[in-house]
Amino acid sequence: MVSSDTRSRLCCSEAGCGKSVPRDFRGYSCPACGNLLQVVTDPGPDSPERLKQVWRERRGSNHLLDTSGVWRYREFLPYAPGDEVFSLSEGNVPLLPGQKTAQYGGLERLWFKHLGWNPTGSFKDLGMTVAVTEAARRGAKVVACASTGNTAASMAAYAARAGLRARVYLPRGGAAGPKLAQALDFGAEIQQVEGNFDDALRQLMAEPDPDIYFLNSINPFRIEGQKTAIFELLDQMDWNPPDFIVLPGGNLGNSAAFGKAIEELSAAGLLARIPRLVIVQAQGSNALVRTVRAGGRALEVVPNPQTLASAIRIGEPKSWKKAVRALRFTNGLVLDVTDDEIIAAKQVLGRDGIGSEPASATTLAGVRRLAAEGVIDRSATVVAFLTGHALKDTDAILNSVGRRDG
C-alpha cells in the first residue's frame, strides 16, 4: 500500500509539454510526448534564510535522516517517513582545495568535491537512497539497471538494505573488476550483455516484467537524490556560488540532476547568481558535444563509443535533453578531452593525494583546457566534481604507470 503524497508529483521535463501525473505513475516517460519525467516537489513555506539555518543545524544532529547528506535537504525531496528511508549515511563529502592540481589546471585556486568518497565509492549512492526508498514504497520486489559498474554496485548495496532483489546488466568486459566484485558482494544477480552500455540498457528496457522497477537515471527519483550534491556544495560554500561547476558526462543523469538543482535553488531564492555548468566528456564518447555543436535539437549518437574511462563509455545518453536544458539555464559549456589528457590529469590528482577513477579526472583535464583557452579566468572560483574512487579501476592505474607523468 502506497502512502499518499500531495507535495510531489511527476511532470514532463519538456517545458513545452508540461503534462503532470501523480507521483505513483508507473513509468519513466511522459504519457503525452514520450520525454523523460521529472519530480516536482513543493518545498513548503520556509524562507531561504530559514532553510539555510535548518540545514546547517541538521549537520550537528544524530537523527538518521539528518546524518545523510541527501535527506538533510528533504524539503526539496519526495516525502518519505523516516522509518521507511534506506540510507547508508551517504553524502557528507568534503570540499578539498587543490594544490598541484590548481597549478596544473592553470588556476589560482581549484576545489574538488569528491563524490567517490560515498559508501560504495561513487556519486550513484546519492540517487540510490532516494530511488530504492521509492522502490520499496511502491512495493517493488526486484530492481534492475544497466551499468558500466558504479550504478550496479550502488543499486545492489541499497537493494540489499531494503531486502529487494537486484538484477544488473553489464556490458561484457565493459565494467571494471572491482565494481563487478562490489555488485556480487551485495548479492546482485549479474547478466553479462554482449555489446556496450547502450546495448545493455536496451536489453534491460525490453524486459517484459512490469514488476521490475528500473533504477537507471531515466528514473526521476534517482535524479532527486543526485541533486543534493549541489545543495551540499553550496551549504559548504556558505551559499556563495562558484563561477564554474565542472562534472563528467556519460549517460548525463548527473548533468540533469545538477541543472535541476540549480534551477530549483534559484527559483527558491537560494542562489545569488547562477554558476556555469561545464560538462566534460571523453573524446571517443562525446555524444553531447556533437549534439550541441549540431544545434541541440536531435541526439547525435556515437555508435561505437570508445575511451579508457569505462564508466563513461556511452554513445546514446538517455538524459541528453535534460543536459541541454541544464547547459541553457546555466549558460554552460560542454567539451571533450582525449584519453591521454584524462590519464595525465588523473596522475596529477594522485600526486595531490586525491585518487579518482579515470572518468572523474576528465574534470581536471577540462579545466586545464578551458583555462589555457582563456574561457576560465585564472582567478575564477571553480569546483570540479570527482565522481568515483581510485580503487574502482586499479587496472587504469597499473596500466598507465610509466606511460606519462603529469
Quick one: which segment of 11-19, 27-35, 71-79, 244-252 binds ligand F0G (CB under 6 A)?
244-252
Question: At its nearest, how many Å lie between ligand F0G and the CB of residue 145?
Answer: 7
Question: At its nearest, how many Å lie between ligand F0G and the CB of residue 1?
Answer: 32
Which of 264/393 has CB closer to ligand F0G? 393
The verdict on 259 binding ligand F0G (CB under 6 A) reads: no
Question: At 190, is the secondary structure helix, strand, or coil?
Answer: strand
Contact 192, 203 (CB under 8 A): no
User: Among 250, 284, 305, 355, which residue interacts with ligand F0G (rule: CB under 6 A)?
Assistant: 250
Q: According to DSSP H, which parts of 354-393 are helical? A: 358-372
The verdict on 251 binding ligand F0G (CB under 6 A) reads: yes
Number of residues that bind ligand F0G (CB under 6 A): 22
Bridge partners of residue 244, in order along the sequence? 276, 382
Contact 384, 111 (CB under 8 A): yes
Quick one: which segment of 10-18, 29-37, 246-254, 260-268 binds ligand F0G (CB under 6 A)?
246-254
Bridge partners of residue 192, in order along the sequence? 170
Integer CA distances (angstroms), 212 to 25, 69, 80, in order: 14, 28, 21
Neighbouring CB atoms inside 10 A of 348's CB total: 21
d(CA 140, CA 130): 14
Contact 41, 8 (CB under 8 A): yes
Question: At its nearest, how many Å lie between ligand F0G and the CB of residue 238?
Answer: 27
The verdict on 388 binding ligand F0G (CB under 6 A) reads: yes
Question: At its nearest, how many Å lie between ligand F0G and the CB of residue 147?
Answer: 3
User: Among 41, 87, 217, 219, which residue interacts with ligand F0G (rule: CB under 6 A)?
Assistant: 217
The verdict on 357 binding ligand F0G (CB under 6 A) reads: yes
Question: At its nearest, how many Å lie between ligand F0G and the CB of residue 52?
Answer: 27
The verdict on 307 binding ligand F0G (CB under 6 A) reads: no
User: Among 8, 68, 196, 254, which residue interacts with ligand F0G (rule: CB under 6 A)?
Assistant: 254
The verdict on 178 binding ligand F0G (CB under 6 A) reads: no
Question: At its nearest, how many Å lie between ligand F0G and the CB of residue 357?
Answer: 5
Which of 69/388 has CB closer to ligand F0G? 388
User: Among 105, 174, 225, 248, which residue interacts with ligand F0G (rule: CB under 6 A)?
Assistant: 248
Name residues whose C-beta falls within 8 Å of residue 17's C-beta, 6 or more positions apart in sequence: 30, 32, 33, 35
Q: Is the dihedral of CA 113, 284, 251, 210 positive or negative?
A: negative
Going by C-alpha positions, the residue among 349, 286, 350, 338 that lies closest to residue 312 is 286
Integer CA distances (angstroms), 36 to 170, 318, 320, 338, in order: 23, 9, 10, 30
Helix then strand then coil, in percent of the chain rounded to 5, is 45, 15, 40
The verdict on 312 binding ligand F0G (CB under 6 A) reads: yes
Quick one: which segment of 7-15, 230-238, 355-363, 368-376 binds ligand F0G (CB under 6 A)?
355-363
Which of 102/314 has CB closer to ligand F0G? 314
Question: At its nearest, how many Å lie between ligand F0G and the CB of residue 255?
Answer: 6
Contact 309, 358 (CB under 8 A): yes
Question: At 277, is the secondary structure helix, strand, or coil?
Answer: strand
Question: At its nearest, how many Å lie between ligand F0G and the CB of residue 319?
Answer: 7
Integer CA distances (angstroms), 400 to 210, 344, 355, 356, in order: 44, 9, 14, 14
User: Among 359, 376, 380, 383, which residue interacts with ligand F0G (rule: CB under 6 A)?
Assistant: 359
User: Among 8, 87, 122, 347, which residue interacts with ligand F0G (rule: CB under 6 A)?
Assistant: 122
Which of 107/168 has CB closer to ligand F0G? 168
The verdict on 252 binding ligand F0G (CB under 6 A) reads: yes
- The residue to which cell 590528482 is assigned: 349
| 361 φ/ψ angles, rounded to the nearest 5 degrees | -70, -10
Name residues whose C-beta falls within 8 Å of residue 57's C-beta, 6 or more positions apart in sequence: none
Of 126-165, which residues contact ligand F0G (CB under 6 A)? 147-151
Question: At its nearest, how many Å lie between ligand F0G and the CB of residue 175?
Answer: 8
Which of 78/178 has CB closer to ligand F0G? 178
Q: Which residues bind ligand F0G (CB under 6 A)?
A: 122, 147-151, 217, 248-255, 311-312, 357, 359-360, 387-388
